[in-house]
A and B are shown apart, each in its own frame.
Chain A
Amino acid sequence: MIDELLRPFDFEFFRNGLLVATMAGALCGAIGVYVVLKGMSYIGHGLSHALFGGFAASSLLGVNFLLGAGAWGIASALMINTVTRRRVIGSDAAIGVITTASFALGLALFALFGTAGRSFDAALFGSILGVGTDDVIAIFVVSILAFALIFLRYRALLFTTFDPEVADVAGVDTARMDALLTVVLACSILATMQVLGVTLVAAVLVIPAAIARMLTNSFARMLQFATGIGAVCGFVGMNLSYHLDVQSGPTIVLTAATLFAIVFVTTGVTGRRRAAAITARGPVAAR
């Protein structure tokens, strides 16, 4: 039994995949706290789809995937951030247009020219088979950048997330904080796309944060819990992916969803009240 469980560790692709999945879970768990609390879940979902356009274009043009899709993702992220802050048109509508157009472009490019390099299915649903050293390096670099941002700008990010208007008065450059967070979100989605897939990455951003919210009323603890929960879900989900012979994205998401259900039931009314509060939006317009 133990031998069977340890057997995949003999393969380098699995060790790489497991490392990337665990780090991806921790990264998405931490970033997901801000995504959930700022009500940016739709942006996370949209950005992952927008990146698919960059993935298709870079695949077609033979450009390095991380650079091509990365540039595409950061441009989309900044565009979404600008639209959201300026409120020129409804942010939901603007995000919908930008991200679904990008996703549709990716699908059209694949339909017209076929795939080169990375597989279409892997991009959509994640796969451990294609995880290489460049993916390990990418997730490592993005994780360091993201956790450095969270650590060094913890107070400003917390204030911006909780109360952006007062944070502004207190001297926080909230526009810069929002832009940094959106760019880190785009980079995180890009770096985790290989194991999670664009269609499922949004779930890994949201579920660990939602579980952590049910467990605590403290922001600092929510951040720690979500990071740990994300890492555990990535580790367990990747192992299940190998043993069940199912794509890695679905197994990681299902692991997280199962944990959510367990915590939802065991924390009772308190947990449910906290989880329900996640959808509550913040500032109300006033004159």
Chain B
Amino acid sequence: MTGRHELLALTGVTCGYVDEAVLVGVDLTIHDREFVGIVGPSGAGKTTALRVLAGSMHPARGRVARRPGLRMAYVPQVETINWSFPVTVFECVLMARVTGRRLPWASRAERAQVADVLARLDIGDLADRHIRELSGGQQQRVFIARALLGEPQLLLMDEPTSGVDVRLRHEIMHLLDDLNSRGMAIVLTTHDLNGIAAHLPRIVCLNRSVIGDGAPHEVLNADVLERTYGASMQVLEHGGMPVVVDGYRRAHAPHHAESHHA
């Protein structure tokens, strides 16, 4: 991380809902241009961590430091979107322009900006469609478009590939790679260790607190994964990439590739 500037840092963050702490003593720093994946089992606090980073949740203890003037955008899980809400793609994307102009209708410049960002994401011809009338990939792109309209320096995404097929997962990851290569820092949460996390430059293993933090070959090992998921997992290597296999499947598999034990 040498030479990179801090965008956001959590120090000793503890927070949760009502009387239940979901995160305990979390330390996490995000630098500019980083691409970070937060992994962990269900209920580990991945979404909560993202909410704390985004500022929509405040920690009960600990400190959140953001670079002054940091522009962030948050893309929620598609499962949490109310797809029945009467809103067109254009109206949805324009929501990002909530500060500044107060008039309900878009200015000529705003129309051009929305058209530009939709075209960049290959959904330029869908502006007048209702959000539910789109395919899964198009729906995800609409919410990425809304995020991009705010020209964020840090993009926070909650499970951007949950419930999508392999082709769509590749499509979304190519898009995010492209945005990251243009200088945007990205933090996403994912359940997908092999399809997503193993391909990211940095992984944070989370289960209420940070269990491991580093490059995939540093954190994707049996010890860290067992402490994160509370279940036995093995890590194989395929084409130079770590491949995580759960213990149950490995015990019944007829052939084993070379395995790396912590």
Contacts and interface: CB of A to CB of B under 8 A. Distances in A.
Co-complex (A, B): yes
Contacts of B47: 286-287
A30 to B, nearest CB: 12
A134 interface: no
18 contacts: A37-B85, A154-B103, A161-B85, A162-B87, A165-B51, A165-B56, A168-B56, A169-B72, A169-B74, A170-B150, A171-B98, A217-B88, A218-B130, A282-B81, A284-B80, A286-B47, A286-B77, A286-B79
Contacts of A171: 98-99
Interface in B40-54: 42-48, 51, 54
Given A165-B51, A166-B74, A287-B48, A281 B82 contact: yes
B22 interface: yes
Contacts of A277: 84
Q: Binding site of B, secondary structure by majority: helix, strand, loop or mixed?
A: loop
Interface stretch (B89-97, B177-185, B240-248): B89-97
Contacts of B86: 37, 213, 216-219, 222, 274
Question: Which of B44, B54, B86, B88 counts the most chain A CB atoms within 10 A?
Answer: B86
Interface string B95-121: 111110111110000000000000000
B195 interface: no
Given A158-B91, A169-B55, A287 B85 contact: no
A94 to B, nearest CB: 15
Contacts of A158: 87, 91, 95
A218 B43 contact: no
B73 interface: yes
Nearest to A273: B84
A263 to B, nearest CB: 15
Interface in B152-172: 156, 158
B76 interface: yes
Interface of A: 37, 87, 151-156, 158-159, 161-163, 165-172, 213, 216-220, 222, 274, 277-278, 280-284, 286-287
A155 B46 contact: no
Given A163-B81, A280-B84, A283-B80, A220 B104 contact: yes
Interface string B140-156: 00000000001000001
B82 A287 contact: no
A166 B76 CA distance: 7
A197 B56 CA distance: 40
Contacts of A170: 73-74, 95-96, 98-99, 150
Contact of B43 (A87, A153, A287): A287
Contacts of A172: 98
B98 A156 contact: yes
A162 B76 contact: no
A166 B93 CA distance: 12
A170 B74 CA distance: 8
Contacts of B44: 287
Interface of B: 18, 22, 42-48, 51, 54-56, 72-77, 79-88, 91-92, 94-99, 101-105, 130, 150, 156, 158
Question: Which of B45, B74, B105 counts the most chain A CB atoms within 10 A?
Answer: B74
B177 to A, nearest CB: 23
A171 B84 CA distance: 24
Contacts of B85: 37, 161-162, 219, 282
A102 B252 CA distance: 66
Question: Which of A87, A158, A278, A287 counts the most chain B CB atoms within 10 A?
Answer: A287
A163 B94 CA distance: 13
A287 B22 contact: yes
A152 B82 contact: no
A270 B105 CA distance: 27
A223 B86 CA distance: 10
B102 A280 contact: no
Given A165-B51, A165-B74, A217-B88, A282 B82 contact: yes
Contacts of A287: 22, 42-48
Question: Which of A87, A218, A274, A278 counts the most chain B CB atoms within 10 A?
Answer: A218
Given A155-B97, A282-B80, 16 more contacts: A153-B102, A155-B104, A156-B98, A158-B95, A163-B81, A163-B95, A166-B74, A170-B73, A213-B86, A217-B86, A218-B88, A222-B86, A280-B84, A286-B80, A287-B47, A287-B48
A219 B55 contact: no
Contact of A217 (B74, B81, B130): B130
Contacts of A166: 74-76
Nearest 3 interchain pairs by C-beta: A277-B84, A282-B82, A154-B104
Contacts of B92: 162
A21 B229 CA distance: 62
Given A165-B51, A213-B86, A219-B91, A159 B73 contact: no
